């Protein structure tokens, strides 16, 4: 497969990486105080945050573990992405509004407001490391499949990709994280659509694909994964997409209405994306039946299904665009993890316990230093994974069962019920984590029961839920803790007052439209240079279509961003400081 990568593809990759670093430098001028770095002053537009949430949510799964799962198991693999739709439906109905009205800067700050200092300290020490693990395994996954196409050692790619993410995250904070995700979406979606169409054409169309697919390939309930897996994975998706990094999109929105719009946009994008992103690995089962057993450097060769189809059907230049799109999606996820961990260590731990009187400017510096440290540690952990990890798909499921479910479910339950003592969330986590360890290392490793991902996630989810609600039903909050809980739920009933709770916008909504449009137009025009370097005939037509579509989409955003003078961008120098809050968390 390496022979399919040409010099022009490497040029595209280098240009893309330079562009990402430059975006961080651009948004550096908007960083005045710690709140700008950590939550963008609650002024990032909902459609930017929504596309950023989409990008940071699916990333590495689509192209490695998820693609391999679809290749092996069939159409049930589509649900790896499609089940994000009911997850965001729960977000729209319940969690988006409540996260925004909680008026927090980090997820762990919410824990202090809802469960008190004891739970806050415990979860601060758990959430940061667990999110670091998720980020590290995603970096490892990205580098694993990139090494197949480029012929570069996984370790080298881990360092290169990690450092590029650091460049724009440390410089531009939340603004850079969201807008790089937005630009990455503009880069990824057109090439993903093109790959889907070309993959179908490569096997003779949809009818031919269906005719040659293995028996039972389109039955989601066949094989070892069935309806129980779908239920369990829905729980996992709901927990993940309404917590941690994605919760940040909600509480960094300007209003609760904007937070709910983020959820709706994600529902639409994941509905469409389920087909666009999972058809190529499904088709690979017919086009490349030997892929599942051919040695390619991955411990589970089928995890190369997506990139293998790209190398099979795309012309020179477009392969570079596809690889850059792979980088784009995974960098979106990595930057989101970096940012949420930075908020925990800088805001919750450093300012919360060590420097309570830290000024806004001091917190900006502290946040940048923390972000740098988090990124470097993430790179080091990913390098350790590269020395001895099992399949990427199973590895991420193991981490989810040990951290995402036991940590995430109690946080969501805290929005739903007022009962229970301060330690109810801690109790739930301990029980869930112990259950996960028993399933993974005793039942599976020691007894050899070979329980699949359904049980790795489902059993800890059940025990976590039981352990949370037993004290909720038996113990009523009282004393100072009871007052804290009452104050928290009163805050959830209080709408956001934009006049008193938001500061001056560093960039207007139209200004954000125009910026996205200009960068996207520039990407499209740059792709016309690939047309000139392409061979004639089919290859040139394919590259030309991609360049034209990207340019037209960018111009549409530029036109939409034009408005009256009053809608012009506010210079960053005019932003006096951190937005005030009428209701303190």
pLDDT digits (tens, 9 = 90+) for 322-337: 888 777 777 777 877 7
Min mean pLDDT across 170-174, 214-218, 297-301 is at: 297-301
| 191: Cα within 13 Å, side-chain hemisphere | 30
Domain extent for 520: 511-567
The 10s digit of each residue's pLDDT in 93-111 is 999 999 999 998 888 889 9
Q: What is the pLDDT of residue 403?
A: 75
Instruction: Give the span between the Cα atoms of 227 and 422, in whole angstroms.
Output: 36
Say if residue 567's pLDDT is above 50: no
Residues 445 and 516 in one domain: no
Write the CB contacts of 197 (distance below 8 Å, at least 6 apart in sequence). Answer: none
Q: Look at residue 584 and tell me if it is in a domain.
A: no
For residue 324, what are the CA distances in angstroms to 161, 175, 199, 205, 327?
A: 11, 21, 19, 27, 5
Structure tokens at 205: 């169309």
Instruction: Say which residue the tokens 């300290």 belong to.
Output: 121
Residues 229 and 371 in one domain: yes
Q: Which residue has the higher pLDDT, 173 or 568?
A: 173
Say if residue 572's pLDDT is above 50: no
Cβ atoms of residues 228 and 456 within 8 Å: no
DSSP 356: T
Q: What is the pLDDT of residue 33?
A: 66
Q: What is the pLDDT of residue 571?
A: 45
Q: Look at residue 579 and tell me if it is in a domain.
A: no
Say if residue 574's pLDDT is above 70: no
Give the confidence band of 555 by pLDDT, cuts at 50, 70, 90: very high
Residues 371 and 516 in one domain: no
pLDDT average, residue stretch 507-518: 83
Q: Residue 196: which of 84, 320, 62, 90 has the closest Cα?
A: 62
Q: What is the pLDDT of residue 206?
A: 93
Q: Look at residue 582 and tell me if it is in a domain.
A: no
Q: What is the pLDDT of residue 268?
A: 95
Q: Which residues of 261-291 are buried (b: 16+ CB within 10 A; e: fewer)?
A: bbbbbbbebbeebbebbbbbbbbbbbbbeeb
pLDDT average, residue stretch 139-146: 77
Residues 135 and 206 in one domain: yes
Residues 442 and 518 in one domain: no
Q: Look at residue 340 and tell me if it is in a domain.
A: yes
Q: Look at residue 90 and tell me if it is in a domain.
A: yes
Give the confidence band of 568 by pLDDT, cuts at 50, 70, 90: very low
Count structural domains, the chain.
2
Instruction: Give the span between the Cα atoms of 432 and 435, in whole angstroms.
Output: 5
Q: Look at residue 35 and tell me if it is in a domain.
A: no
Say if residue 565's pLDDT is above 50: no
Q: Residue 289: which of 274, 298, 301 has the closest Cα?
A: 301
Say if residue 285's pLDDT is above 90: yes
For the chain, the average pLDDT equals 83
Helices 117-150, 244-251: axis angle to 10 degrees equals: 110
Give the confidence band of 506 by pLDDT, cuts at 50, 70, 90: low
The 10s digit of each residue's pLDDT in 392-403 is 556 666 666 677
Q: Residue 374: which of 399, 353, 345 has the closest Cα?
A: 345
Residues 370 and 437 in one domain: yes
Q: What is the pLDDT of residue 576?
A: 40
Output the CA torsion 117→118→124→130 (10° steps): -150
Residues 516 and 460 in one domain: no
Residues 64 and 186 in one domain: yes
Residues 523 and 429 in one domain: no
Instruction: Give the span between the Cα atoms of 283 and 483, in whole angstroms.
Output: 57
Residues 501 and 515 in one domain: no
The 10s digit of each residue's pLDDT in 244-262 is 778 888 988 889 999 999 9
Say if residue 425's pLDDT is above 90: yes
Q: What is the pLDDT of residue 299?
A: 67
CATH of the domain at 457: 1.20.1730.10
Cβ atoms of residues 234 and 407 within 8 Å: no
Q: What is the pLDDT of residue 392?
A: 57
| 461: Cα within 13 Å, side-chain hemisphere | 24
Residues 395 and 321 in one domain: yes
Q: Look at residue 33 and tell me if it is in a domain.
A: no
**DSSP-based three-state secondary structure for 219:** coil
The 10s digit of each residue's pLDDT in 13-52 is 888 888 877 877 777 776 666 667 777 767 788 888 888 8
Min mean pLDDT across 146-160, 268-282, 543-557 is at: 146-160
Residues 259 and 132 in one domain: yes
Cβ atoms of residues 102 and 256 within 8 Å: no
Structure tokens at 163: 């450092």
Say if residue 530's pLDDT is above 80: yes
Say if residue 503's pLDDT is above 80: no
Q: Look at residue 100 and tell me if it is in a domain.
A: yes
Say if residue 494's pLDDT is above 80: yes
pLDDT average, residue stretch 375-389: 83
The 10s digit of each residue's pLDDT in 64-80 is 778 888 998 899 888 88
């Amino acid at each position: 497969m390496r022979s399919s990568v040409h010099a022009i593809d490497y040029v595209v990759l280098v240009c893309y990486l330079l562009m990402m670093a430059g975006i961080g430098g651009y948004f550096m001028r908007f960083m005045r105080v710690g709140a700008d770095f950590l939550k963008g002053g609650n002024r990032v537009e909902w459609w930017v945050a929504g596309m950023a949430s989409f990008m940071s949510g699916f990333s590495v799964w689509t192209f490695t573990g998820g693609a391999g799962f679809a290749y092996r198991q069939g159409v049930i693999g589509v649900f790896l992405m499609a089940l994000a739709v009911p997850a965001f439906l729960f977000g729209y109905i319940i969690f988006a509004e409540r996260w925004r009205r909680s008026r927090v800067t980090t997820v762990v700050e919410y824990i202090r407001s809802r469960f008190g200092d004891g739970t806050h300290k415990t979860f601060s020490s758990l959430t940061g490391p667990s999110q670091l693990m998720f980020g590290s395994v995603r970096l490892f996954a990205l580098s694993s499949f990139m090494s197949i196409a480029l012929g570069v050692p996984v370790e080298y790619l881990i360092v290169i990709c990690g450092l590029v993410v650091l460049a724009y995250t440390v410089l531009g904070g939340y603004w850079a994280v969201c807008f790089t995700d937005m630009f990455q979406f503009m880069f990824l979606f057109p090439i993903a659509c093109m790959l889907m169409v070309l993959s179908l054409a490569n096997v003779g169309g949809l009818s031919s694909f269906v005719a040659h697919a293995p028996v039972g390939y389109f039955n989601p309930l066949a094989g070892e994964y069935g309806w129980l897996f779908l239920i369990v994975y829905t729980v996992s998706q709901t927990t993940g997409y309404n917590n941690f990094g994605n919760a940040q999109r909600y509480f960094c929105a300007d209003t609760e209405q904007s937070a709910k719009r983020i959820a709706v946009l994600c529902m639409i994008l994941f509905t469409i994306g389920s087909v666009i992103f999972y058809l190529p690995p499904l088709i690979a089962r017919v086009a490349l039946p030997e892929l599942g057993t051919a040695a390619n450097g991955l411990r589970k060769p089928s995890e190369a299904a997506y990139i293998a189809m790209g190398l099979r059907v795309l012309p020179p230049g477009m392969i570079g665009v596809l690889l850059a799109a792979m980088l784009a999606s995974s960098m979106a996820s990595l930057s989101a993890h970096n940012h949420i961990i930075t908020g925990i260590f800088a805001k919750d731990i450093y300012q919360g316990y060590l420097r309570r009187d830290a000024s806004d400017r001091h917190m900006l510096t502290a946040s940048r230093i923390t972000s740098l440290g988090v990124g470097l540690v993430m790179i080091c952990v990913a390098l350790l994974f590269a020395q001895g990890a099992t399949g990427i798909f199973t590895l991420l499921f193991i981490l989810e069962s040990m951290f995402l479910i036991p940590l995430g479910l109690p946080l969501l339950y805290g929005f739903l019920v007022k009962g229970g003592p301060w330690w109810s969330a801690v109790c739930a986590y301990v029980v869930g984590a112990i259950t996960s360890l028993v399933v993974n290392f005793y039942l599976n490793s020691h007894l050899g029961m070979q329980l699949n991902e359904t049980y790795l996630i489902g059993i800890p989810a059940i025990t976590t839920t039981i352990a949370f609600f037993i004290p909720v039903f038996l113990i009523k909050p009282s004393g100072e803790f009871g007052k804290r809980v009452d104050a928290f739920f009163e805050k959830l009933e209080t709408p956001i007052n934009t006049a008193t709770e938001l500061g001056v916008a560093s960039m207007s909504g139209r200004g954000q439209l125009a910026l996205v449009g200009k960068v996207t137009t520039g990407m499209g025009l740059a792709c016309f240079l690939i047309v000139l370097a392409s061979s004639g005939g089919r290859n040139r037509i394919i590259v030309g279509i991609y360049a034209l579509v990207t340019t037209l989409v960018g111009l549409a955003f530029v036109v939409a961003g034009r408005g009256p003078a009053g809608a012009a961008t506010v210079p960053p120098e005019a932003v006096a400081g951190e937005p005030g809050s009428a209701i303190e968390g």
